[in-house]
Amino acid sequence: MNSKYAPLLESFTFKNGVQIKNRIVMAPMTNWSSNPDGTVTEAEVNYYARRSGGVGMVITACTYVTANGKGFHGEFGGDRDELIPSLQKLATGIKNQGAKAILQIFHGGRQVPPELIPNGDVVSASSVPAEGLGKPVPRELSNQEIESIIHDFGEATRRAIEAGYDGVEIHGANGYLIQQFFSPHSNRREDRWGGSLEKRLTFPLAVVDEVKRVAAEHSNGSFIVGYRFSPEEPETPGITMADTFVLLDELAKKNLDYLHVSLQDFWSTPRRGVDDTRSRIELIQERVGDKVPVIGVGSIYTPDEALKASQTGLPLIALGRELIIDPDWVQKIAEGKETEINTEINKENQHQLVIPDPLWQAIIHTPGWFPGVN
């Protein structure tokens, strides 16, 4: 191994005592490859297992906690107990390769395709559609429904524990329901769940509290709970970096095991809300990095890019598309073969890369989404 990359391969221990073997995490990525009933497919399990041999931790694609929260065709579910064996298959496939398995849990809110949910009943914090043509106008959730969804996040956490996962990641990013409550664009309520910035925090923090409560009750104290967030929104009104600092300050009080920034570009800079030219990641690390470990992500492909990212002080770096392109990324660094790492997708290599058909079709038909696809 080239010693300059040694920092990427050092083990990391969370506050709860759980250790992962290195600093590289597989980022959560939708793969559209589950069965219509919400169970995982063999192809999906094999895809994850193929990428779990090198990284320290794998965060799965999001799984819906409530039937009306299903956000994608081919998404696997965690909303009912009969799905525990399905969830277990995936956890086992990941853990058998030596990585920790983290189940990402979410509700799609106003982003769900109406045809995927019972009665096409799209819900959100308020009756405000997402921006874009043809987006459904969601129904505003009642107080009772909100409490029920919070409970559902807890129940999905219990199922994750029973299925053998090492932790859950609460998906508060990418414009889904938790973010919809925090956002001034999607949350126009004037009750306990919205109005002021502090009230818009009520739902996200209640979900965290419920997940933490269930984890404490049903696990042995070594269950990881993380939270993913998007630092800004393009909409007006929308979440700004200043808003996100308030969110981070509150999350830092919750004794979470990590925070995970959702970014397309690791080095992207703030849009508004702060007068600072440094990257969002650096500002976030400065704000809360001494209180809770931060995972950074965003278009990192080469070992040098990962090393540069880690030099911001972030303890963990997540790779997304690069682990689809080269499942042996970590192993090649460990073996001193970093020059053999592939950073462009090979269109002839679907079977060697163990990529399920729905994901493969998305890759090869989306110009610019993957390096080498044009």
Using the Cα atoms of residue 186, residue 134, residue 362 and residue 374 in order, give the sign of their dihedral: negative
Question: pLDDT per position in the chain (374 positions), as tens?
Answer: 789 999 999 999 999 999 999 999 999 999 999 999 999 999 999 999 999 999 999 999 999 999 999 999 999 999 999 999 999 999 999 999 999 999 999 999 999 999 999 999 999 999 999 999 999 999 999 999 999 999 999 999 999 999 999 999 999 999 999 999 999 999 999 999 999 999 999 999 999 999 999 999 999 999 999 999 999 999 999 999 999 999 999 999 999 999 999 999 999 999 999 999 999 999 999 999 999 999 999 999 999 999 999 999 999 999 999 999 999 999 999 999 999 999 999 889 999 999 999 999 999 999 888 888 87
User: Residues 176, 227, 258, 301: which is the catalytic one?
Assistant: 176
CATH 3.40.109.10 fits 3-364, yes or no: no
Listed in sequence order, the residues at least 6 apart from 339 whose beta carbon sits closer than 8 Å to its beta carbon are none
The answer to whether residue 47 is catalytic is: no
Task: Name the pTM for this structure.
Answer: 0.98
170-208 as b/e, with b when 16 or more CB fall inside 10 Å?
Answer: bbbbbbbbbbbbbbbbbbebeeebbeeeebbbbbbbbbb
In the chain, which residue ranges form alpha helices assigned H by DSSP?
42-50, 84-95, 143-162, 177-182, 197-200, 202-218, 241-251, 280-288, 303-310, 321-325, 329-334, 350-353, 357-364
Query: Residue ranges of the domains in the chain?
Result: 3-364
